[in-house]
Structure 1
């Protein structure tokens, strides 16, 4: 048995080294990977006394490959607890030279802080309105030919495709398209109220390294939303300024400001204050105009405790200041998002321990209208969450 185990690990090591050598030499290769994640949570707003709960959060399949100088990157996710699946990303990549790289397909939208504006498992508030770690279908160019400067140019014709048929099962939040729908808790299929499609979106992003430890950047997003009933287009835009800084001995700071206007109109062509967005087989309302402030601080502590190599405590905070009114003329309430926690790293096992808190927050107790009008009587809700992921 020991010889068999040794042989398996030896072969795996040789294959991995072969992949790395092929990548360095720009030769053809295929590499498979994935992840399995488990989740434990306890919600303050859950009244059925079933918490805490242990769930199988996610399993995913990754493929990275190259042939004839063309790269492939693909990731597909399955969520057993929710019974749905989705594409995370899938694109063909090609380097025209050392400075210019193209991605064709579903890739991350170059906007704000990439890859994440957050330190925690919970993202920051921009994710829940489609402005953090968003993925869409189109073409993107990354240019690094100017010292200390990275430029991203992209055109996305449409959101990424949904996964499970009939569901709004996608990884990142998008304005719901005509004809899509969702299943409620009782298994009933319903069509959305909104009949708007995201389309024809351009993104520009510039990030400049002031030093090895400080990045500043600006982003612009310019698109059009098509309203099916009125057969009209309405301009949609978003702007961001950000800073990412490493300082001291292990500190990391992420700060960002975002202003967006999703260009929402009703069936008669009149502007409205709410759009409907969806992901993960669930839809909710979002204020069509808002400003978002984001700040997060983390500190990485190297440790030598069994398999654990580092512990990173952090605190992330973001607030959405909305520009909208209810039918009665009452201004929309702010959405707040606060997550203290820590990341424990042990090889390829990453464990997030979070105490997520929110007010008028869709994923923290105020589902349908928390990110839209909200409620002046809303209270802070919380969710203690542990997510354990093994990545391979």
Structure 2
């Protein structure tokens, strides 16, 4: 009798456990809708601003996220608001479907498969490729992620156009998804050069030598459509990258070549093209090499809510291939503090001709600046037209922005 009771009890427990496991498996496949978001704050001071407005505190962004599934079709949607820039826009919005165990399709606004993904950077500032549309870029189209080949991840994509825009800085939404009120940098029309993105193809391959070492190659070909000429020129970009992890260290390295061949409304080839995001545009050199390197080291800690601190340094050198242009540099030492769902970036960001880190916002990635006016400078021009008159010109120095970004993600 006692044995019978034990067997009945064991059977009941097994039934209960199997029933729970079956319910869990069923729940994973059931339809769902989840909501999330984030709120981020910025505290910063800029070396090139000397008035009493420094330091400043702003709301960086707040956002809404929705993920859902119905009948095996996934939804991923994110909408952001940037009060400081007076704009708001969709970052991403795609429908996903597993065509097989190895092929996943995304239709809509998704991340462009190029270079190191999801980010080539460790800092809050990204690396410099972001500012020319080659890191964490989002466009409208269709993408296939393929994982069935041993140790190799492939992504193939076609993007009809840039992601939909929100209002620009002056509150105007331009026609044809060509305005600068968006998350990632894309070509936008300028006076006398009515260009925008059209028909882009991407291929990215990443080979995992082991779980700690990845090598990759990316290619991108697209059209730059001029609405006045009613014709397109060709843009192209190529990247080779490596990502390595060892004993708490993370290294990200990348070499990029891009050529944004474009014409103005008169049909003449131009040396800079306008790109824009966050409601404001600037000029970008149409051809350059970019050399990217970043190193991070994660330290586990147990200090109240803080679980880890990652120290890092990110650097990019942009070699503009037009001889008369001045190159851009971007150096970001800092650290990230993780406390549950709160992430805090503390960055001592430095730049030469980096639009967001120098006063030369509109020209930094275009022609650039070699000298700055300074009455106390020891440097003078040798221009014969000045007839020997000394003109104070100081060689361009690193400008800095000390920045703390605190974000709560939910």
Matching of residue 226 in structure 1 with residue 225 in structure 2: yes
Matching of residue 69 in structure 1 with residue 72 in structure 2: yes
1:9-158 pair list within 5 angstroms: 21=24, 25-158=28-161
Distance (Å, rounded) in 2 between the aligned partners of 1:348 and 1:87: 22
Distance (Å, rounded) in 2 between the aligned partners of 1:316 and 1:132: 14
What TM-score results when the alignment is normalised by the length of structure 1?
A: 0.88
Q: Residue by residue, what CA displacement relative to the aligned partner does 1:15-40 show, whole Å, maximum 9, x if unpaired?
A: xxxxx957973220001000000110
Structure 1 gaps, min length 5: 1-19, 178-190, 326-330
Distance (Å, rounded) in 2 between the aligned partners of 1:83 and 1:286: 23
Partner of 2:199: 200
- Are 2:276 and 2:282, in contact at CA under 8 Å, matched by a contact in 1? yes
Give the superposition deviation at 1:49.
Answer: 2.2
SS at match of 1:373: coil
Partner of 2:389: none
Partner of 2:281: 283
SS at match of 1:110: coil
- Are 1:32 and 1:62, in contact at CA under 8 Å, matched by a contact in 2? yes
Partner of 1:335: 328
- Are 2:86 and 2:279, in contact at CA under 8 Å, matched by a contact in 1? no
- Are 2:306 and 2:338, in contact at CA under 8 Å, matched by a contact in 1? yes
Matching of residue 313 in structure 1 with residue 311 in structure 2: yes
Partner of 1:362: 355
Distance (Å, rounded) in 2 between the aligned partners of 1:137 and 1:198: 11
Give the superposition deviation at 1:163.
Answer: 1.4
What TM-score results when the alignment is normalised by the length of structure 2?
A: 0.84
Candidates 170, 187, 196, aligned match of 1:175: 187
Partner of 1:389: 407
Q: Residue by residue, what CA displacement relative to the aligned partner does 1:93-134 show, whole Å, maximum 9, x if unpaired?
A: 000111000000000000000000000000000000000000
Partner of 2:342: 349
Distance (Å, rounded) in 2 between the aligned partners of 1:353 and 1:112: 25
Give the superposition deviation at 1:380.
Answer: 1.1
SS at match of 1:210: strand
Partner of 1:13: none
1:185-196 pair list within 5 angstroms: 192-196=191-195
Partner of 2:380: none
Q: Residue by residue, what CA displacement relative to the aligned partner does 1:242-282 show, whole Å, maximum 9, x if unpaired?
A: 000001x2000000000000111122322211000000000
- Are 1:40 and 1:55, in contact at CA under 8 Å, matched by a contact in 2? yes
- Are 1:22 and 1:28, in contact at CA under 8 Å, matched by a contact in 2? no
Distance (Å, rounded) in 1 between the aligned partners of 2:244 and 2:146: 22
Count of aligned residue pairs for this structure pair:
356
Distance (Å, rounded) in 2 between the aligned partners of 1:385 and 1:75: 25
SS at match of 1:25: helix
Q: Residue by residue, what CA displacement relative to the aligned partner does 1:291-317 show, whole Å, maximum 9, x if unpaired?
A: 000000000000000100000000000
Change (3 A) 1:63 1:21: farther
Higher alpha-carbon Rg: 2
Distance (Å, rounded) in 2 between the aligned partners of 1:23 and 1:33: 23
Distance (Å, rounded) in 1 between the aligned partners of 2:131 and 2:192: 19
- Are 2:237 and 2:259, in contact at CA under 8 Å, matched by a contact in 1? yes
Structure 2 gaps, min length 5: 1-22, 174-179, 372-395
Q: Which deviates the most, 226-235 or 364-373?
A: 226-235
SS at match of 2:84: coil
Candidates 172, 191, 196, aligned match of 1:166: 172
SS at match of 1:300: strand
Partner of 2:375: none
- Are 2:202 and 2:221, in contact at CA under 8 Å, matched by a contact in 1? yes
Change (3 A) 1:339 1:319: same
Distance (Å, rounded) in 1 between the aligned partners of 2:28 and 2:53: 54
Matching of residue 270 in structure 1 with residue 264 in structure 2: no
Change (3 A) 1:32 1:241: same
Matching of residue 376 in structure 1 with residue 394 in structure 2: no
